[in-house]
Chain A
Amino acid sequence: MLDHRLCNIHDHGMLILRLLNSLPVFWILLSIPAILLVGEYWAGETIAMDMLPPTGEFSARFMIIALMVTPLSVIFGNRLWIGWLVKRRRSFGLAAFGYALLHLVFYLIDMEALEPILAEFWAPGIWTGWAALLVFVPLAVTSNNLSMRFLKRGWKRLQRLSYVAALLTLAHWLLIHDGFEGALAHFVPLLLLELLRVIIIYARRNNMTKQQDSLQPE
């Protein structure tokens, strides 16, 4: 009887944990910064101009995390937390796009009119941002199972555009205004992980060819 009740409590606990660890709850977590930021703006505590750095940074942050998943799995192999991240990679990528859209909305509000937007369009720090957003669109639109099934092997090739989006985002951040340190602080870790990924893949390949060579009869 008592055992049964304990078991029940245990089941409930597991259920709550599983719920907390579910994707919908994760989406809510990802949207909390946006809710707080937009809340501040609605309350009149900030102006549109001051919404640009935080929305852009969260977009870049989530994009970087999404991109870190592959190098991390190459480096650390099959682990529980890697699996956890892999399951949430799409959420991170879509969140990055969402924050980029929010970034655009506040840019439009801040600039007020088309004329000043066009006047600064070709500034290096500006067109790179537009380009990054443009590259983001097909990535976001195809971030669903249906597209994966439909595009087959082309899906992976298409999603590799995320590296282009990352480079454009980095350029945008470096070239716009006062963003130099912040941009490097975000992108250098990703760069290091990618570097390590390449080194490891190269080392493994070398090992494999060596093994194959030693298996060959003399």
Chain B
Amino acid sequence: MKYSAIAVAAAVLVSAALSAPAFATGKMSCEAGPQSGWKTRAELEASLVKQGWAVKKSKVDGGCYEVYGTTPEGDRVEAYFHPVSLEKLLVSRRGEILFRKK
């Protein structure tokens, strides 16, 4: 019984500590200044579509724009863009890096 109380307490503590929300995934970060200077996500999506991308979803991650979609080459990816310059920074497919800005 002594063991069990310790185990349950430990389990609860560990779960609580670990379930703190993760705000950034840490895969990419951008120092892009205040959001007032950013281009909009709609602008990014429109320019990507023009280049032949299909966009499923976009959001802000680590101060960058993160886009889920399909590249003009047909790769289903997750990609990061600079929110001011809209420059492509990183393209990865389930963790496999397909492109990284030098």
B contact face: mostly helix, strand, loop, or mixed = mixed
CB neighbours (8 Å) of A115 from chain B are 74
Q: Does B46 contact A (CB under 8 A)?
A: no
Q: Does A23 contact B (CB under 8 A)?
A: no
Q: Does B88 contact A (CB under 8 A)?
A: no
Given contacts A178-B25, A199-B3, contact A123 B19 (CB under 8 A): no
**Pair A125/B95 contact, Cβ less than 8 Å:** yes
Within the complex, the shortest CB–CB distance from A174 to chain B, in Å, comes to 11
Given contacts A75-B3, A76-B4, A182-B19, contact A120 B76 (CB under 8 A): yes
Contact with B along A161-203 (1 / 0, CB 8 A): 0000000000000011110111011001100110010011000
**Pair B19/A185 contact, Cβ less than 8 Å:** yes
A contact face: mostly helix, strand, loop, or mixed = helix
Given contacts A119-B75, A120-B76, A181-B20, contact A196 B15 (CB under 8 A): no
**Pair A111/B76 contact, Cβ less than 8 Å:** yes
Q: Pick the interface stretch among B6-14, B36-44, B79-87.
A: B6-14
Interface residue tally for chain B (C-beta within 8 Å): 25
Within the complex, the shortest CB–CB distance from A76 to chain B, in Å, comes to 6
Within the complex, the shortest CB–CB distance from A78 to chain B, in Å, comes to 14
CB neighbours (8 Å) of B56 from chain A are 47, 49, 110
**Pair B11/A116 contact, Cβ less than 8 Å:** no
Contact with A along B8-50 (1 / 0, CB 8 A): 0011001100111010010100000000000000000000000
| Complex CA distance for A175 and B95, rounded to whole angstroms | 8
Residue from A110, A115, A116, A199 whose CB has the most chain B CB atoms within 10 Å: A116
| Inter-chain pairs besides A123-B96, A184-B18, 4 sampled, C-beta below 8 Å | A123-B93, A176-B94, A181-B19, A196-B3
Taking beta carbons and an 8 Å cutoff, which residues of B are in contact with A?
3-4, 7, 10-11, 14-15, 18-20, 22, 25, 27, 56-57, 68, 70, 74-76, 78, 93-96
Taking beta carbons and an 8 Å cutoff, which residues of A are in contact with B?
47, 49-50, 75-76, 110-111, 115-116, 119-120, 123-126, 175-178, 180-182, 184-185, 188-189, 192-193, 196, 199-200
**Can you list 8 pairs linking A and B with CB atoms under 8 Å apart?**
A116-B70, A116-B76, A120-B94, A176-B94, A182-B18, A184-B18, A185-B15, A185-B19
